[in-house]
Chain A
Amino acid sequence: MPYVTVLLFVGGLTFRTVRWLSIPVPTKVVVTPAPVTWPGVFERMSLEVLGFRSLMKGGWKLWLGGWLFHILLGVTLLTHFINFFDYGLWNQLGYGWYEVAGYAGIAFASMVAFLLLRRIFLPGVRYVSKASDYGVLLLLFGIIILGDYTRTFGAVSVSAVSQYVYGLLTLQPTLPPNNTVFLLHLLLAQIFLMYLPFSKVSHLVGWVLAPTRNQRNDARALWHRNPWNPAVELEPYSSYAARYERELEELGPGGERR
């Protein structure tokens, strides 16, 4: 199953991205504050990706919730990688950091809960929420809680998981550690990864492709090509001038007022 997961996750995301990129952007549609240079665009996108700058403009509550959620997601992923590949790093960093990572996992769950409660209790957000919006958050909540449980109550040793991951990577898969909570965590996480490319969670790639953000504001300075720019029929001046011949004469000879 893990191989199928990876295949669907990577394949799905690649398919999505290629599909998006294969469609032309017919015109400039960049939204102010739009830089004119590529370094400017890079700076803008960095602030968006790292600081969620636009979200911050709308109000601090959702910004803080959303930003912490994604930061904690990053921390959690990082912790997983350390656990998988370089467990000894914790010894160098000190045990305190290992503890911090544990609390981060709990904070992560509470951020998901915040997003979920917001969806349920804010009337406007509830109105635009679909089954899948709740579904994704519930799925994430489940994954995190099970993960936190596995970690906190130490039912599964980190080295066992690490061995399992190495086995998968070296194409000599072994059975995962036999623990119900852990197996459930693993199963749900894989379901999430498989579902991700085909859902709104694909924003993790689509985000940086938004032409309203990643274009330069140079529509008048450089030619932007529209591959399907259609030809249009236009009444030529001669036929217009014939219709208004008398009126144009009032302007001056040849319809010109010099």
Chain B
Amino acid sequence: MKLDRNFAAQKYVLHPTRKKDMETMHLPFPRDWNPENLNLPQNWKEIALAKLDELRGKYRELQLFLDICVACGACADKCPFFIGTNDPHNMPVARQELLRSVYRRYFTTAGKLFHGLAGGRELDEDLIRQWYVYFYQCSQCRRCAVFCPYGIDTAVFTMAAREVMSAIGLTPRSLTESIAKCEIVGNHMGMQPAAMLNSISFAEQEIKEETGVDVHVPVNKKGAEVFFLVPSADYFGEPHWHTFKGYLKLFHRIGLDYTMSTYASEGGNFGTWLNYEHMKKLNRKITAEARRLGVKWILGGECGHMWRVLHSYMGTMNVNSDFLEEPVSPVTGTHFRIAQHSKTVHICEFTADLIRHEKIPLDPGKNKEFKVTFSDSCNPARFMGLIEEPRYILRNVCPNYVELDPSVNRERTICCTAGGGLLADETLPLRLRAIKPKIDAIRESQANFLALICAIDKAVYPEYLKHYDLPVQVGGVHELVSNALVMT
């Protein structure tokens, strides 16, 4: 495989981390650099190879997937970034090959002896530059893994390559800026406690104006039963805001004893997309805060990668056997046995359970102007398997609900293409190309409301739909619940 710097997708490169943020986060080799001049430390090659060697001894899936890919090509046309750019290196198998060829060259006998002939490739600065381009054109959505006959998951490679790159000081600003804020202030947006309080009071006021009901939102309340966690965009983002108000209305209606937190005011976790250490660190804030507040269990709002971490990683990284209590819905008495270890329940599981037990009065007629469709987000759909719950809720709160085309629905979804740290202005043209199959499906469904359960989805879809000139409103599943909820 030749590498050609004139390939189509080469121009979409994320901006580098500022020296200041590298210092705050204690990242190695804080310095000024850019994708053209990487300004790498002198012994970068040894560091990178040592890191790669370390990782393949830590992750069975990495070593296994390095060895067994037969390059059948089944994944090639499944990656939205390949569909959108036609750049051969955006085929999942070719993206993996950027890493696999280095593994072959330095860690297999055939590669050590025959180099290129055995499919090996020298690790040089040019290749590392390609890594920085293409491993940051993967949103770790795992669509390829659904179609691979062996379940090979490109996200495993992307995560490994990013870990290697962060060890030699190559990280994008789109991630590190937010991580640094989250470590210090408590959320990716850098909202300080006063700003958060403002936002919450404002939500209370709006709910009062809209429904005439006084809701009260507890914050940092020790001894509450439930710790409620949302991605920080919910505090002010549009259209996230309406979903946020929906939660508050719902909790008021059922009289839930809950609290939010300023110290851990971020459910999202941009560390996930950098490396294990930073993912664990950000997640640790949540478990530490749950302990400090003395809550019984954690309820998580609508968010994609936040739920990838809460579902797949938190129980392993930060939860001990004495952590909190098994979640039980105080309204229906349902034991959420699916969460009996990490004690963390998804808001859609919680609400679906309420609806199933007919514990909340709903008037679907309030949503009758909407023809609603639902777009699965990659992390809830492919990491969690959370597919039926949001649909169950939507069918109960909307009279008109339609599914998207099966080719981009459920676990086959093409999501927002802005996950994995790609949410930055410099990748917008790339994302607009990659999202096209999903946009086509939305147009075909003739829906006028796109329901989502991911904060990044909610942030980017309005922009995409405007670009493609599609008059569709975007909102959260709990925005529609909020509309239909009868308040007294």
Contact = CB atoms under 8 A, between A and B. Distances in A.
Contact of A128 (B71, B142, B192): B71
A222 B341 contact: yes
Interface string B50-86: 0000001111110111011111111111100000000
Of residues B59, B68, B338, which shows the largest number of chain A Cβ atoms within 10 Å of its Cβ? Answer: B68
A34 B385 contact: yes
Interface string A201-242: 111001101111100011111111110111011111100110
Contacts of B217: 257
B237 interface: no
B5 interface: no
A180 interface: no
Of residues B74, B91, B117, B339, which shows the largest number of chain A Cβ atoms within 10 Å of its Cβ? Answer: B74
A31 B59 contact: no
B97 A128 contact: yes
A223 B317 CA distance: 10
A20 interface: yes
A178 B455 CA distance: 72
Contacts of A221: 337-341
B222 interface: yes
B316 A32 contact: no
Of residues A48, A125, A232, A244, which shows the largest number of chain B Cβ atoms within 10 Å of its Cβ? Answer: A232
Contacts of B382: 31-32
Contacts of B148: 54
A255 interface: yes
Interface string A66-82: 10000000000000000
Contacts of A58: 74-75, 78, 147
A33 B73 contact: no
Contacts of B88: 124, 127-128
B321 interface: yes
Contacts of B340: 220-221
Contact of A232 (B146, B184, B280, B337): B280
Given A24-B60, A26-B58, A210-B68, 12 more contacts: A55-B149, A122-B73, A128-B1, A131-B117, A202-B67, A207-B68, A210-B61, A212-B152, A221-B341, A223-B341, A234-B288, A256-B218
Nearest to B271: A232
Interface stretch (B39-47, B238-246, B307-315, B467-475): B307-315
A36 B311 CA distance: 13
A57 B383 CA distance: 18
Interface stretch (A1-9, A86-94, A156-164, A246-254): A246-254
B220 A54 contact: no
B193 A247 contact: yes
A52 B288 CA distance: 44
A25 interface: yes
A28 interface: yes
A234 B283 CA distance: 10
B64 A54 contact: no
Contacts of B57: 23
B313 A27 contact: yes
B33 interface: no
B167 interface: no
B147 A54 contact: yes
B179 to A, nearest CB: 13
B194 A250 contact: yes
Interface residues of A, number: 77
A187 interface: no
Contact of A240 (B93, B263, B280): B263
B412 interface: yes
Of residues A206, A212, A223, A244, which shows the largest number of chain B Cβ atoms within 10 Å of its Cβ? Answer: A212
Contact of A23 (B63, B117, B221): B63
B183 A125 contact: no
A16 interface: yes
B61 A25 contact: yes
B153 A219 contact: no
Contact of B60 (A23, A66, A213, A223): A23
Contacts of A224: 315-316
Interface of B: 1, 56-61, 63-65, 67-78, 88, 91, 93-94, 97, 109-110, 117-119, 142, 145-153, 156, 183-184, 186, 192-194, 197, 217-222, 262-263, 276-277, 280-281, 284-285, 288-289, 292, 310-313, 315-317, 319, 321, 337-342, 344, 381-385, 387, 410-412
A152 interface: no
B262 A223 contact: no
18 contacts: A20-B60, A31-B151, A32-B410, A33-B385, A36-B338, A48-B149, A128-B76, A200-B68, A207-B150, A211-B64, A219-B312, A224-B316, A229-B317, A235-B184, A241-B263, A244-B193, A248-B262, A251-B262
A179 interface: no
A52 B284 CA distance: 40
A170 interface: no
A23 B59 contact: yes
Given A20-B64, A31-B145, A200 B341 contact: no
Contact of A250 (B56, B146, B151, B197): B197
A219 B339 CA distance: 8
Contact of B312 (A19, A29, A128, A235): A29
A62 interface: yes
Contacts of A46: none
B155 to A, nearest CB: 8
B61 A211 contact: yes
Given A54-B147, A220-B341, A237 B289 contact: yes
The 3 closest A-B pairs by CB, nearest first: A206-B68, A212-B151, A213-B151
Contacts of A257: 197, 217-221
A212 B71 contact: no
A125 B94 CA distance: 10
Contacts of A200: 67-71
A122 B71 CA distance: 13
B71 A133 contact: yes
B151 A54 contact: yes
A66 B72 contact: yes
A122 B91 CA distance: 14
Given A130-B71, A211-B60, A237-B292, A220 B338 contact: yes
Contacts of A230: 276-277, 280
A169 to B, nearest CB: 31
A172 interface: no
Nearest to B336: A220
Contacts of B313: 27-28, 219
B147 A55 contact: yes
B315 A203 contact: no
A33 B382 CA distance: 8
